[in-house]
Amino acid sequence: MSVKSLRQTVQGLLPSLTPVRFVAEDGTPVAKPPAEYGEPPVEALLTAWRRMVLGRRFDTQATALTKQGRLAVYPSSRGQEACQIGAVLALRPDDWLFPTYRDSVALVTRGIDPVEVLTLLRGDWHCGYDPAATRTAPQCTPLATQVLHATGMAESLRRKGEDGVAMALVGDGATSEGDFHEALNFAAVFRAPVVFFVQNNQYAISVPLARQTAAPALAYKGIGYGVRSEQVDGNDLVAVLSVLTAAVEHARAGHGPVLVEAHTYRMDAHTNADDATRYREEDEVDQWRSADPLARLETYLRSRGALTDEDVAALREEAEELAARVRAGMNADSVLDPLELFDHVYADPTPQLREQRAQLAAELAESAQAQED
């Protein structure tokens, strides 16, 4: 490869020097929008705004349910709505999504029943929805393991001649895991149609980004593997949707994987069991609150005449109806069958599992008979 060709190859992998942005923190358009990306149509932005309002109401309702003992734990994504909604809207229904434990809003946006989304966090099932039917993998708690799964799924789609794409959602902490780097390397070598979307919310639980990496941005981690990379203002929905749409189409066209880093912030604690005041200052949180992705998009749409007070009021009512449905669903006691423990271990149960299932069934029947007597 000539020096000129090498330089062009490297330039094609490099992310923008600063995060891609269309809308400033105060909701006004930036003076110089990025020339390499197009702004999504206003209809798409209105859809995204609606999803963000509903997503935030869902998130605050789920947080409240933990305080009522209805959920064992809930990792809030307040402040990261632009990332989660932008990710889902950039995909087709037949594409695959591989979420983390913090991506419940993305699942609701994907069209999955909110009560089914919360089944994992309630402790009823490992996954409350059908991954095959929804093209959405189970929410992943171990860091970065779903990145390998997403890469494998993307490669299988490629080998079968399908034009589907897989998108893996990860946090900044996952980029410090070996699985993340193995997935990038495999995806690049085989040109798997996968998008790695890093929601850099500045903290891996309590570990700040500066203690994880000395790289100028996490987006640069893709270059060493030959992965096209980009960074975006994760609180600017317009930019997130534009960049991710381009990344998905890049992968779908057979040009290989893309790594996108979104600079965002987790406004609430890591989970309801975390005390974020022990490792970050309130002034920092307040600064990021001023860049709230929901307020930013609403202001922008109002300035374009695409949004009215009546629209906002109507959607707030819809959001409250959603919250009421979530409360009603979570207030209903679950009907659990202990024998379901054996239903999804193997497609064809082993003789040992059949024996154990029969033994448990006999014990349950004996217990039920004793209660009747």
Residue 344 annotated to the active site:
no
Among residues 279, 289, 316, 354, the one annotated as catalytic is 279
Amino acid found at 353: L
Amino acid found at 181: H
Which among 295, 235, 252, 213 has a CA at the least distance from the CA of 80? 235
Give the distance from CA 50 to its chain's centroid. 17
Cα–Cα distance list, 353 to 265, 344, 345, 361 (Å): 45, 11, 9, 12
Among residues 122, 149, 270, 296, the one annotated as catalytic is 270
- DSSP alpha helices (H): ranges in 77-233? 81-89, 104-109, 114-117, 119-122, 131-134, 145-159, 178-190
Sheet containing 258-263, strands listed edge to edge, beginning at the edge strand earlier in sequence: 96-98, 166-171, 194-200, 258-263, 228-233
CB 360 within 8 A of CB 352: no
Among residues 78, 250, 266, 296, the one annotated as catalytic is 266
Report the relative pairing of strands 258-263 and 194-200 from DSSP bridges: parallel
- Three-class SS of residue 258? strand
Residue 266 annotated to the active site:
yes
| Residue 225, phi then psi, degrees to nearest 5 | -100, 0
Q: What does DSSP assign to residue 234?
A: T
Amino acid found at 289: R
Question: Distance between CA atoms of 163 and 254, rounded to whole angstroms?
Answer: 8
Residue 270 annotated to the active site:
yes
Find where tokens 């922008």 sit.
Answer: 300
| Residue 129, phi then psi, degrees to nearest 5 | -130, 170
| Catalytic annotation, residues | 266, 270, 279
